[in-house]
A and B are shown apart, each in its own frame.
Chain A
């Protein structure tokens, strides 16, 4: 693969890598580092990767880099620069879908709460949820990536979903009440 094709791939996949790292690490600087690391690894190993499997390879390497980062944090015991709930909206991007400011506000608020809840889950459950719903991987693919079977992935995802539901229920009730007041 030549440099032009690599640049096209970079343009196509950079947001996917950056977003996953952002949501996983909850830190923009770390996510930027991970994105760089992933694409430099891709450039170095381009000749070894099957062209049809480049995207799964990118997802796998992104996940591994994120895990390495988390481990590094734990070993160095550095305080992760988590985005606080006040400026969490900086991490959110206003997409075209959220043109309505009211909708945008509500959706952002829900996303923030979801992200906060997501980070209280165990590392493995969080990664499974993100890989399944955000990256669109199937249970089997996640199982291969995380060295487990599809059944275990399914169970963990269901459990994670239940935990998120329990944490988000008060917020949904509040939203419903707010809507009914208006």
Chain B
């Protein structure tokens, strides 16, 4: 087998399938005219394809057909195909219903409001001054809590910087921010 055979033999299958490009096909056909080895190979493969394609149909025995017919007769008609209507839980599909329901609910609440008992207990017993005092007290308390939290956070950060970090880091931080114990910079 010469080099040209080695190059062209992978194309033989594509040639037989009829999917080879025109240029390659003509190249292969030229080669086939002069190469009995490749000719033999292609002929053998063509014969294999012919035999595979022409494998005869086997006749199915009548008793098998009869058995199938008997079985289908005894089973009766197959279950008819029905398209089941499925419930789609889709908001856009049911949007009008939701809107209607919400509007009905609002109307019912409006209608029921006059029958609600009037609440005149707490608001009248507390004076405006007391309310103002209580509000200010709450404001100061919140400010105090915020300050405590802020201090605690700062303390925690300082602790980490001073104790948890490696020595080299601490040195570099000190040189940058010049942290001294007891002072806040």
Tell me whether A and B are bound partners: yes
Residues of A whose CB lies within 8 Å of any CB of B are 2-3, 6-7, 10-11, 14-19, 22-23, 31-32, 35-36, 39-40, 43-48, 91-93, 95, 97, 110-111, 114, 129-130, 133-134, 158, 161-162, 164-165, 168-169, 172
Kindly identify which residue among B48, B58, B60 contacts A165, using a CB–CB cutoff of 8 Å: B48
Query: Is B71 part of the contact surface with A, judged by Cβ < 8 Å?
Result: yes
Q: Name the residue of chain B whose CB is nearest to the CB of A46.
A: B78
Closest CB of chain B to A58's CB: distance in Å?
13
Closest CB of chain B to A131's CB: distance in Å?
11
Given contacts A16-B57, A19-B58, A32-B61, contact A161 B69 (CB under 8 A): no
Q: Told that A3-B73, A3-B77, A36-B68 touch, could you supply 15 new A-B pairs with CB distance under 8 A?
A: A6-B72, A14-B68, A19-B58, A23-B58, A36-B71, A43-B78, A95-B57, A111-B51, A114-B51, A133-B49, A133-B53, A162-B13, A165-B41, A165-B44, A168-B47
* Contact partners of B13 in chain A: CB under 8 A: 158, 161-162
Kindly identify which residue among B44, B68, B81 contacts A168, using a CB–CB cutoff of 8 Å: B44
* Contact partners of B68 in chain A: CB under 8 A: 10, 14, 35-36, 39-40
Say what secondary structure dominates the interface of chain A: helix
Query: Is B65 part of the contact surface with A, judged by Cβ < 8 Å?
Result: yes
Given contacts A91-B58, A114-B51, contact A161 B67 (CB under 8 A): no
* Contact partners of A45 in chain B: CB under 8 A: 78
Given contacts A35-B64, A165-B48, A172-B47, contact A93 B69 (CB under 8 A): no
* Contact partners of B51 in chain A: CB under 8 A: 110-111, 114, 168
Alpha-carbon separation in the docked complex, A169 to B173 (Å): 86
Closest CB of chain A to B156's CB: distance in Å?
60
Query: Is B80 part of the contact surface with A, judged by Cβ < 8 Å?
Result: yes
* Contact partners of B134 in chain A: CB under 8 A: none
Alpha-carbon separation in the docked complex, A165 to B69 (Å): 42
Query: Is B56 part of the contact surface with A, judged by Cβ < 8 Å?
Result: yes
Kindly identify which residue among A36, A114, A130, A158 contacts B64, using a CB–CB cutoff of 8 Å: A36
Q: Name the residue of chain A whose CB is nearest to the CB of B62.
A: A14
5 closest cross-chain pairs (CB), A and B: A47-B81, A133-B52, A18-B60, A19-B58, A14-B60
* Contact in complex: B44, A172 (CB < 8 Å): yes
* Contact in complex: A7, B57 (CB < 8 Å): no
Closest CB of chain A to B49's CB: distance in Å?
7
